[in-house]
Amino acid sequence: MRKLNLSKEITELTQSNESSLEVLFNYYYPRLYHFSKSFLKIETGIDDILQEVFLKVWQNRKKITSVSTFNAYIFTITKNLLLNEIRRRLNDEKIKNNIQKYSIAEEYRFFDDVEYNDLTEKIKNIVDELPERQKEVYNLSREEGLTHKEIADKLGISPKTVEYHITQSISFLKKKIKELGVVALLYFYLFL
């Protein structure tokens, strides 16, 4: 069995060598799987996420400029996709209902569907109050699950500008939602 030369494989990957992608897949998959499992706490969906990670690596192979930062690069892609999956799961109606059902003692449950829909509508209206560019960046981040870099590329702005808009919009939303009360603030931290 020959010793794996990661630098060589990553360099060959940037030159569109498909067998290098396979070698890197075999090397990184167990590490990324373990990382993902510790992040999500369940195994469901990890294989799909990791397939997407390697698809993104292949699609962006020409942009890989440094062999020394590839490890951080692949784990960052994985982390971002895991965060998107967590957001997706939290937005799943069934999961919201289970969180509500099992996290609050029955005598304190007062947040029914009508109140939930009312709160959702109020929060949507608050998001609509954001300046146009901030709202656009916020929606691309929270609703479409794009990374800062993907948003920057799509809008033709820098990742730092994206970060600024996200920070400003979250600060604004937090302040406005705080005015709606504790339940709204809890909703903000759990689902936005």
pLDDT tens digits, 2-40? 578 888 999 999 999 999 999 999 999 999 998 888 777
* Domain match, 15 and 46 both: yes
Average pLDDT, rounded, for the chain:
79
Which token pair is 158? 């820098």
How would you class 101 by CB atoms within 10 Å of its CB: exposed for 0-12, middle for 13-18, buried for 19 or more?
A: exposed
Q: pTM for the complete prediction?
A: 0.48
**Domain of 129?**
93-191
90-143 pLDDT tens trace: 776 665 666 555 554 444 444 455 565 676 777 788 889 999 999 999 888 877
Within 8 A by CB and 6+ apart from 172, the residues are: 129, 130, 134
Last residue of a domain, one of 28, 57, 90: 90
Q: Are residues 24 and 66 in the same domain?
A: yes
User: Does any domain span residue 1?
Assistant: no
Q: What is the CATH classification number for the domain harbouring 42? A: 1.10.1740.10
What's the pLDDT band for 85 if we cut at 50, 70, 90? confident
Residues 129 and 142 in one domain: yes
Q: Which is more confident, 90 or 60? A: 60
High-pLDDT (> 70) share of the chain, %: 77
Q: What six digits make up the tokens of 64?
A: 């890989």
Structural domains of the chain, count: 2
* Contact yes or no for 20/12 (Cβ under 8 A): yes
Residue found by looking up tokens 């062999």 in the block: 67
